[in-house]
Amino acid sequence: MAGKFEIQQSKNGQFYFHLKAGNGEIILSSEQYESKAAAQHGIDSVRKNAAHDERFDRLRSKNDEPYFVLKAGNGEVIGRSEMYSSVSAMENGIASVKRNAIDGETRDLTAK
């Protein structure tokens, strides 16, 4: 199964998206955006930047858990991962983002 982007609206009225793997697991979460169009632009940016390994910053949390952020060419963070139990699990997450971002469909969950 292919991955997909899901656009959602938070209680404060802002928009965000998740990139989900084919198994439905969230592999990347966006920042919040003021408009749905801005969230869509963020998805386009993920599609464009996920192909470039150097745009993934591999980091560690305060609890020493590995995670990553995906940055645009201008250095802005466009998405972040969950916390992983190991560096190899984090690298698998990055590989999954690379695979699923390219042709993942976009679902707008704000349209009722």
Q: What is the pLDDT of residues 7-59, one digit of tens each?
A: 999 999 999 999 999 899 999 999 999 999 999 999 999 999 999 999 999 99
Tokens 């464009």 locate to 48
- Indicate the pLDDT class of residue 112, thresholds 50, 70 and 90: low
For 85-102, letters b (16+ CB in 10 Å) and e give eeeeebeebbebbebbbe
Contact 72, 50 (CB under 8 A): no
CATH architecture for the domain at 4-108: Roll (2.30)
Q: Residue 102 has what pLDDT?
A: 86
**Domain ranges, ordered by start, for the chain:** 4-108
Contact 17, 31 (CB under 8 A): no
